[in-house]
């Protein structure tokens, strides 16, 4: 089979899975739904591997293949086709997405087994994977927008999966609305670019840019790229459109792991990499991307220091790591950004899965304040957490070390003001070490909490009655709420298997790209990025060695500080909190971003809305339009009604008068 046929198959399997599970949800609930969902994604992964093999068998300069299934609207000025682009970048993304998704589906089979919405869950999850694959395989802007919006919808469905939790439905709406802001940016950006390039096709657009289509329209290109960045920022949770991501943790933990850590939120990184010829022609927009990514990694890192919800800590760390990727790909470090995307998908999915295991052991509670001393009760989860934490904080030889340092080395090599980003990147790495290990030390070290003690005696704690971890409201275990059983990785083989594979990946994936030794990813992605003008930028040997040493030192320093504060002298945290209470409050409130957006956007719009509801609706719509129309009809009918007296002779007289008038008219007209 040809390479693109494999590409189409990658899309077909998750779609088939969605349809089968969605239509048969009543019969497939509990058992088969999970198996079908996992199998569908596994087959998609196998197809992606096949397309990789087939792609590698081609000549290096013929590795960008498009295949069109159907011409939707092809006219002189627009070429909307149902077409996919199979090239190293999209195959790389498809492999990452399907690979991690397979493991997360496997994990979900156990994690969601007692949930009453089991089949619905797997239908949504398959739909998400399908949407994400549409996004990464799209060959033109149109299909990209379709995939982009589908992903947003799938994310909404899964965040508010437990739809009887008010907090969850609110979080879903918030995520959806902010994502739609991004969609609007993407669509408008597409218009700016389409207007001068004259084609929706990616490769055609890149050729047009190279051919000077924007030579006298540089402003349009910059505006288009900035609008594309708005889309990327909303999807990838970058400042100031990031506030939905921490709230998205209301969804089931595997969803956080898949969508809000490993795949969907990296769509912005993919977008910038895919559009690199545009961004390189509009350096102003690329610089904005780099600065925003850098700001996000720092802001998110500081917020993560003070959060107490274990999933939110990981969510902020996700934001921070995606900040690195956005900064990297905006600065031109495409291969490094993609490499970090891959390693991050592994270790972040792993961390979320491990967090899910602890949450299971805590009977649904997510607060770090309640957790402590799980080290002996959950050795496997602890091991996974340590591996994920070491990879996340960038300790050699774990995967995160190589990928993060490669981004930072490249940014450093750009020189000029990029050095500031380089420095901030290492500050962020230092914070990463602290907040990651703060979480691990608080959850696993110290005196075992009640639940941990109970687990050591072989029982998983069950709360007296289920509650919402966000606000403590009482719940039941019917559909729309989490199921009654709590699961931990130690006792569930599918969870254990999925986590083990991810842990191995998080440990060893660094070998793909060791400085001076291997460059698998860089040479694999080269056909996509060979026209990049940043290919000439190479960090000097000294910078690479310095970066690696610095990265190791700051990571270890961060871990040491965390160890000192939360293990050696447990009172230090409280003392610091009291000493810097203003700063602490500022960070606990997440830099007041929610309040700022509320003040600047939500409230003015709400005021406008209530003005229209109370005044415009009543006076203009009700009064003028509705009232006016009924008034005219009423007055007219009253006048006509008066003619209908019921007197027979009156009708006869009118008849005669009318007849007489007609006769008179003809008489006068004829004379």
Partner 1 sequence: MDLAWYLVVSALIFCIGAGGVLTRRNPLVILLCLELMLNAANLALITFSRMHGNADGQIFALVVMVVAACEVAVGLGLIVAIFRRKLPIDVDELKELRG
What six digits make up the tokens of 190?
A: 């597409």
**Minimum distance, C-beta of residue 646 to partner 1, in the bound complex (Å):** 3
Work out how close the CB of 638 gets to partner 1 at its nearest, in angstroms, rounded to a whole number: 10
CB of 146 to partner 1, least distance (A): 58
Shortest Å distance, C-beta 630 to partner 1: 19
DSSP 8-class letter at 378: -
Give Cα 425 distance to the centre of its chain.
Answer: 22
Cβ distance 441 to 563 under 8 Å? yes
| Closer residue to partner 1 (CB): 520 or 656 | 656
Q: Give the Cα separation of 245 and 155 in Å (integer).
A: 11
Cβ distance to partner 1 smaller for residue 600 or 652: 652
CB of 636 to partner 1, least distance (A): 13
Q: How far is the CB of 632 from partner 1 (least distance, A)?
A: 18
Number of Cβ within a 10 Å radius of residue 343: 27
- For partner 1, the closer of residues 463 and 653 by Cβ is 653
Rounded to whole angstroms, the Cα distance separating 574 from 585 reads 13
Q: Are strands 65-74 and 79-86 parallel, antiparallel or unpaired?
A: antiparallel
Instruction: State both tokens at 11.
Output: 């899309």
Among 331, 354, 332, 328, which residue's Cα sits nearest to residue 342?
A: 328
Nearer to partner 1, 536 or 643 (CB): 643
Residue 612 Cα distances to 226, 565, 609, 618, 625, angstroms: 32, 54, 5, 8, 15
Q: Which one-letter DSSP state was computed for residue 412? A: H
Choose between 643 and 668: whose C-beta lies nearer to partner 1. Answer: 643
CA distances from 592 to 38, 560, 576, 585 (A): 40, 30, 21, 10
Contact 61, 111 (CB under 8 A): no
**Which residues lie near partner 1 (CB under 8 A)?**
640-649, 652-653, 656
What is the 3 state secondary structure string of 84-119? Answer: EEECHHHHHHHHHHHHHHHHHHHHHHHHCCCCCCHH
Least gap, CB of 648 to partner 1 (angstroms): 4
**Axis crossing angle, helix 88-111 with helix 118-137, rounded to the nearest 10:** 170
CB-CB contact of 513 with 50 (8 Å): no
Secondary structure letter of residue 332 according to DSSP: T
Please identify, using beta-carbon distances, which residue of 474 and 642 lies nearer to partner 1.
642
Instruction: Pick the closer one to partner 1 by CB: 504 or 656.
Output: 656
Tell me the closest approach of the beta carbon of residue 663 to partner 1, in angstroms: 11
Shortest approach of partner 1 to residue 644 CB, angstroms? 3
Q: Which is nearer to partner 1, 284 or 635 (CB)?
A: 635
Instruction: Classify each residue of 379-413 as buried b or exposed e, where b means 16 or more C-beta atoms within 10 Å of its C-beta.
Output: ebbbbbbbbbbbbbbbbbebbbbbbbbbbbbbbbb
Q: How far is the CB of 651 from partner 1 (least distance, A)?
A: 9
Residue 669 CB, shortest distance to partner 1, in Å, is 20
Instruction: Select 517 or 668, whichever has its Cβ closest to partner 1.
Output: 668
Rg (CA), the chain: 30
Contacts of 201 (CB under 8 A, 6+ apart): 66, 79, 81, 83, 139, 140
Q: Distance between CA atoms of 341 and 353, rounded to whole angstroms?
A: 18
Residue 576 vs 653, nearer CB to partner 1: 653
Pick between residue 457 and residue 649 the one whose CB is nearest to partner 1: 649
Q: How far is the CB of 652 from partner 1 (least distance, A)?
A: 5
**Which CB atom, from 553 or from 657, has the smaller least distance to partner 1?**
657
Q: How far apart are CA 106 and CA 488, in angstroms?
A: 14
Residue 463: half-sphere exposure toward Cβ, Cα within 13 Å: 23
| Cα dihedral 517, 521, 527, 531 in deg (nearest 10) | -80
In this complex, which beta carbon is closest to partner 1, that of residue 517 or of residue 640?
640
Tokens of 430: 């230092």
Round to whole Å and give the CA distance between 456 and 447.
Answer: 13
CB of 640 to partner 1, least distance (A): 7
Nearest to partner 1 of 626, 635 (CB atom): 635
E strand or H helix at 74: strand 65-74
- Comparing CB distances to partner 1, the nearer of 2 and 645 is 645
Tokens of 168: 């969850």
- The DSSP output letter for 449 is P
Tell me if 486 sits within 8 A of 460, measured CB to CB.
Answer: yes
Query: Shortest approach of partner 1 to residue 629 CB, angstroms?
Result: 22
Cβ atoms 481, 162 nearer than 8 A: yes
Query: Smallest distance, Å, CB 665 to partner 1?
Result: 18
């Amino acid at each position: 089979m040809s390479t693109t046929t494999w590409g189409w198959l990658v899309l077909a399997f998750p779609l088939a899975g969605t349809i089968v599970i969605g239509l048969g949800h009543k019969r497939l609930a509990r058992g088969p739904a999970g198996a079908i969902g996992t199998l569908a994604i596994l087959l998609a992964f196998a197809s992606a591997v096949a397309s990789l093999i087939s792609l590698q068998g081609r000549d290096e300069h013929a590795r960008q293949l498009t295949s069109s299934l159907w011409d939707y609207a092809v006219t002189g000025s627009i070429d909307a086709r149902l077409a996919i682009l199979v090239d190293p970048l999209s195959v790389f993304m498809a492999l990452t997405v399907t690979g991690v998704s397979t493991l997360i589906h496997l994990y979900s089979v156990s994690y969601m087994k007692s949930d009453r919405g089991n089949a619905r869950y797997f239908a949504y999850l398959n739909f998400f994977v399908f949407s994400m694959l549409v996004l990464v395989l799209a060959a033109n802007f149109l299909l990209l927008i379709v995939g982009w919006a589908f992903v947003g919808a799938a994310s909404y469905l899964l965040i508010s999966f437990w739809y009887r939790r008010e907090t969850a439905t609110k979080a879903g709406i918030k995520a959806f609305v902010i994502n739609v802001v991004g969609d609007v940016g993407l669509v408008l950006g597409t218009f700016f670019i389409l207007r001068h390039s004259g084609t929706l096709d990616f490769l055609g657009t890149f050729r047009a840019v190279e051919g000077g289509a924007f030579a006298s329209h540089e402003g349009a290109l910059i505006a288009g790229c900035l609008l594309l960045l708005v889309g990327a920022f909303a999807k990838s949770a970058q400042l100031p459109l990031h506030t939905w991501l921490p709230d998205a943790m209301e969804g089931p933990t595997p969803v956080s792991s898949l969508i809000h850590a490993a795949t969907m939120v990296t769509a912005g990184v993919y977008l910038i990499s895919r559009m690199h010829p545009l961004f390189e022609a509009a350096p102003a927009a690329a610089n904005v991307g780099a600065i925003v990514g850098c700001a996000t990694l720092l802001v998110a890192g500081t917020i993560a220091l003070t959060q107490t919800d274990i999933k939110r800590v990981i969510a902020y760390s996700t934001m921070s790591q995606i900040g690195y990727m956005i900064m990297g790909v905006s600065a031109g470090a495409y291969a490094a950004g993609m490499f970090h995307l891959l390693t991050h998908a592994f270790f972040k999915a792993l961390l979320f899965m491990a967090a899910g295991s602890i949450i299971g052991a805590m009977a649904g509670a997510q607060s770090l304040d309640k957790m402590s001393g799980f080290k002996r009760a959950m050795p496997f989860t602890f091991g996974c957490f340590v591996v994920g934490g070491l990879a996340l904080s960038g300790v050699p030889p774990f995967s995160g070390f190589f990928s993060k340092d490669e981004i930072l080395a490249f940014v450093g090599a750009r020189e000029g003001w990029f050095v500031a980003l380089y420095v901030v990147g290492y500050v962020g790495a230092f914070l990463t070490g602290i907040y990651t290990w703060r979480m691990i030390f608080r959850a696993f070290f110290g005196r075992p909490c009640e639940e941990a003690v109970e687990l050591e005696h072989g029982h998983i704690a069950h709360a007296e009655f289920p509650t919402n971890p966000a606000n403590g409201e009482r719940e039941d275990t019917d559909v729309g709420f989490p199921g009654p059983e709590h699961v931990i990785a130690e006792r569930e083989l599918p969870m254990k298997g999925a986590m083990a594979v991810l842990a191995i990946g998080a440990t060893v994936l660094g070998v793909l790209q060791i400085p001076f030794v291997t460059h698998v990813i860089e040479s694999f992605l080269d056909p996509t990025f060979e026209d990049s003008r940043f290919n000439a930028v190479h960090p000097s040997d000294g910078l690479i060695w310095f970066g690696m040493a610095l990265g190791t030192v700051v990571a270890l320093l961060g871990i040491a500080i965390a160890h000192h504060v939360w293990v050696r002298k447990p009172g230090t945290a409280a003392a610091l909190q009291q000493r810097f209470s203003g700063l602490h409050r500022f960070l606990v409130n997440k830099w007041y971003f929610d309040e700022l957006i509320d003040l600047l956007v939500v409230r003015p719009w709400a005021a406008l809305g209530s003005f229209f509801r109370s005044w415009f609706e009543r006076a203009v719509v009700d009064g003028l339009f509705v009232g006016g129309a009924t008034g005219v009809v009423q007055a007219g009918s009253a006048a006509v009604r008066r003619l209908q007296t019921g007197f027979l002779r009156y009708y006869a007289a009118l008849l005669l008068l009318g007849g007489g008038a007609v006769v008179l008219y003809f008489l006068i007209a004829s004379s």
